[in-house]
Amino acid sequence: MRKGMLIATLFSILVGIIAGCGVAKPSSTPSEAKPSKGGTLTIAISANPDGLDPHKTVAAVTFEVTKSIYDTLVETDTQGNLHPGLAERWEASEDGLRWTFYLRKGVKFHNGREMTSADVKASFERILNPETKSPRAKDYAIIEEIETPDDYTVVFVLKEPKAAFLSNLAYGWAAIVPVEEEDLRNHPVGTGPFRFVEWVPDSHIKLKRFDDYFLKGRPYLDEVVFKVMPDPAAKLAALKAGEVDVVDQVPPQEVEGLRGDPALKLIQAPVNGIYIMALNNAREPFSKKEVRQAITYAVDKKGLINAAQWGQGTPIGSHMPPVSPFYVDLTDRYPYDP
């Protein structure tokens, strides 16, 4: 335990959270802009997804696509707060070992079948099944048993209390899938606002509005197209030419220039990610606390962000990013002092 705490402390003093940037081209001037329903949104993404099976990936670019196809039991807002998703409410036992979720009724999968507790149970059992080879199985290894008292109630019985259990259910890899579907990698089926149409590798992925989505009136768009464009310069050129509406992962060196372009809208938001310098505390000289402290004092975190990320980031004093509700600001604990 002490070794883990030391590693976490080291992480906290050598991390930087980088602002996630996207650029969208306005369809009209700000004074004329009004919400409208329908149409196609074309988004340039930086790479091919590694498949569209949410249980078998941790790739950010994959979740850019699959988040519109699948839903989770709980959802997060832009501030990291948890809200009902496929579960309309939940409750935990006093000892934290039993979590009961009450599912929304009438939620349909894209194949037309209603989602039930059996699908929720099967989804998590699939993640935990070694044959699935899910890279996130460890996040749910705390689950001892899953009970389904009826079609709309799911009870997770845990081996021990876990503070992050509820928030772990909001991650994209905790998506609920129909028990009968097998080829989710190439033919994803979920309950999300958009249904899968086609995937042409190295070209595009097309999604269409799911008319039976459980949130009535949503989504507003008729179609979303993700265009695979690995070259950042090509993405920005396509945006300026009107070939795409949104680009992801704007290079940090381009941010200030784009900010001054009246034809574009730069959208920035903190992301749940950090950069770290990881050391092995069991090996000399890093096993000595004084050495680790010396390294910490010697690192100019703000200077690194300015040099490597053109100022697009924030030095943090915790092994969790500021978007986490568990973040504690300890940036002054080890100030830069070479």
Q: Final residue of a domain: which of 196, 224, 249? A: 196
pLDDT tens string 101-134 = 999 999 999 999 999 999 999 999 999 999 999 9
Sign (positive or negative) of CA dihedral 306, 280, 321, 14: negative
Alpha carbon distances (Å) from 23 to 37, 257, 269: 21, 12, 12
Answer whether residue 279 is part of any domain: yes
Same domain, 175 and 121: yes
- Which has more pLDDT, 5 or 204? 204
Tokens read off for 178: 């129909």
Nearest C-alpha neighbor of 22 from the set 200, 211, 185, 247: 247
Q: What are phi and psi of 37, to 5 degrees?
A: -100, 145
Question: Does 251 sit behind a cis peptide bond, omega within 30 degrees of 0 on the bond before it?
Answer: no
Structural domain containing residue 290? 2-18+273-316
Tokens read off for 70: 């699948």
Tokens read off for 214: 């459980």
Same domain, 70 and 153: yes
Same domain, 103 and 174: yes
Residue with tokens 């060196």: 253
| CATH at residue 244 | 3.40.190.10
Answer whether residue 328 is part of any domain: no
Answer whether residue 146 is part of any domain: yes
pLDDT tens string 31-71 = 455 667 899 999 999 999 999 999 999 898 999 999 999 99
Same domain, 161 and 90: yes
pLDDT at 280 > cutoff 70: yes
Q: What are phi and psi of 10, to 5 degrees?
A: -60, -45
CA distance 36 to 246: 17
Tally of structural domains, the chain: 3
What are the E-state strand segments in the chain? 15-17, 19-24, 40-45, 74-76, 82-84, 87-92, 98-103, 143-150, 153-158, 194-200, 204-209, 223-228, 246-247, 265-270, 314-316
Same domain, 171 and 203: no
Q: Final residue of a domain: which of 169, 196, 223? A: 196
78 band by pLDDT with thresholds 50, 70 and 90:
confident
pLDDT at 257: 83
Sign (positive or negative) of CA dihedral 23, 29, 33, 36: negative
Q: Which residues contact 162 (CB under 8 A, 6 or more apart)?
A: 96, 142
Same domain, 219 and 93: no
pLDDT tens string 185-208 = 999 999 999 999 999 999 999 999
Same domain, 110 and 99: yes
pLDDT tens string 130-174 = 999 999 999 999 999 999 999 999 999 999 999 999 999 999 999
Same domain, 103 and 225: no
Same domain, 34 and 170: no
Q: Final residue of a domain: which of 252, 267, 282? A: 267
CA distance 43 to 331: 36
| Mean pLDDT score across all residues of the chain | 87
315 band by pLDDT with thresholds 50, 70 and 90:
confident
Q: Residue 106, Cβ neighbours under 10 Å: how many?
A: 10
CA distance 234 to 294: 43
